[in-house]
Amino acid sequence: METMLFISDILLPALLEGLVITLQLIVAAAPFGFLLGIGIAVGRTYGGRATEFACKAFVTFIKGCPLLLLLFMLYFGLPSVGISFSPFVAAVIGFICCNAAYNSEYIRGALLSVKEGQMIAAQALGMTRTQAIRFIILPQALRRAIPGITNEFIYLIKYSSLAYMLTVIELAGAGKIVATKYFTYTETFLFVGLLYLGLVTITTVTADAIEKKYAVPGAMGR
C-alpha cells in the first residue's frame, strides 16, 4: 500500500513533470536539427570548396566531440567570452548541433545515391542548379534517408537525458532526484525506463508508418 501511494502521489507526478521538459527539449531541437542537417548535407554535396570545407569541419568536430563535453562548453565555457545561455537553451543548442551533424550524414549519403543524370536532365529542361536540387534531387534523397533520420530522432530522445547535467530537470533528472531523496532506486528507474521505452516505441511505430508511406517505389522490395 505504501509503495502504491509513493508511486501515485510522489513518483508519477515528478516523472510527468520531467517528461514535459524532455518533450520540450525534443520539440525544440528536432526540427532545427533536421533543417540544419539538410543544409549541411547540401553544402557538402553541392556547395563550393569553402562551403564544403566549413560543413565538413562542423560535422567532424561534432562527431569527434562527446555530447556532454559540447554541452559543458556551451553552458560553462562560453560565458568566459561573454556569451551566456540558460541551461535549457544551452541544452537545445547542443542537441541541435549533434542531431544536425548526424542527420547530415544520412541525407548526404541519400543525395549521393541519386543518379547524377537527374541533375543534367533538370538543367536541360531549364531549371537552375538550385531548383534542381530543391525540387528534383532533395525530395528523393529525403525519402531514402527516412530510416536514418528517424533513428537519429530516437537517439535524440535518449541523449536528452544529458540536459540534467546542466541542471535541466527532465525525465531522467526528475527520477534521480526522487530516487536519491526517498532511496527508491529500483522502482524509480524502472518507471523512468518504461517512460523512455514508451517514447521510443511511439517514435518507432510512427517512423515505420512514415517510411512505408514515402518509400521509394521499387526500393527494398517494395
Per CATH, the number for 2-221 is: 1.10.3720.10
What does the pLDDT look like over 25-50, one tens digit per residue?
Answer: 999 999 999 999 999 999 999 999 99
Contacts 24+ apart (CB under 8 A), 1-8: 3/187, 6/182, 6/184, 6/187, 7/187, 7/191
Which three three-digit cell numbers place residue 84? 551566456
Helix/strand/coil for 99: helix
User: Model-level pTM?
Assistant: 0.93
**What confidence tens digit (pLDDT) does each residue in 47-98 have?**
999 999 999 999 999 999 999 999 999 999 999 999 999 999 999 999 999 9
Nearest to 129 by CA among 140, 142, 116: 116
User: What CA–CA distances, in Å, run from 151 to 9, 62, 120, 194?
Assistant: 35, 18, 32, 19
